[in-house]
Structure 1
Amino acid sequence: MTGSGGASSAEQHLGDHLAALVDGELGHDLRERVLAHLATCGRCKAEADEQRRLKNVFARTAPPPPSEGLLARLQGLPGGDDGSRSGPDDPFGGSGTRGFGENALGRRPGSAGGPPGDHAAAV
């Protein structure tokens, strides 16, 4: 495998398994085999140590703030800050003008047809 176009020794030995080990993505048996290889291969061990160090640097680094352009596009999406958007903080959806237990059509589950919000006809 010496003609692999500049691949490091660790890449030739372990391939993607090295990064998967560092990321904690290997199953038990494969993890044990990779660790056994690292115990006997100094180059692969050095590469694993370097990947761990780099991963720790990235984990400590704060992500960059969103750009002004991204913020403007996000604010321009439908359902912005007008209070009509449903989400995790509004489990019943909408602006809160519906009655408790009403669906999006303004009807209670199991009610007869009729105009939305006309509960007297369904009772």
Structure 2
Amino acid sequence: MIKDPDSAPSPYDVLAEAGVTPWTSHADLRDVPFELLARRLMTPFTQAAWDELRTVPGRLLVDLFRYDVDLADELPEAVAEIDRLLREQGGPDPGPPLSDEAAARLLADLVRFDV
């Protein structure tokens, strides 16, 4: 991933001195404030970074933007995989494919950024 020099640093970058990475477990992440306090690294800046990561929805949102996904390229393969799994498990017939507009409406209903 290429970082934009004009954007705010990632919460993971801010908390790197405390050993926080995208692979840090959520249980370990709960102890980060104590590590920051013990090392005298707790500042409003590190507090804000920890606040972004401390809840599961907040962390998922931060993690979502770490990946560059081309939906137009990935979606057909994902749909084919889901259809294959449903056929194997005797699931319902997938029916005709959705239009781009219908898929966009469903995606907008599923993805909410009210964390």
User: What is the TM-score when the length of structure 1 is the normalising length?
Assistant: 0.27
Which structure's relative contact order is higher, taking Cα pairs within 8 Å and 6+ residues apart? 2
Larger Rg: 1
User: What is the TM-score when the length of structure 2 is the normalising length?
Assistant: 0.28
**Structure with the largest fraction of helix:** 2
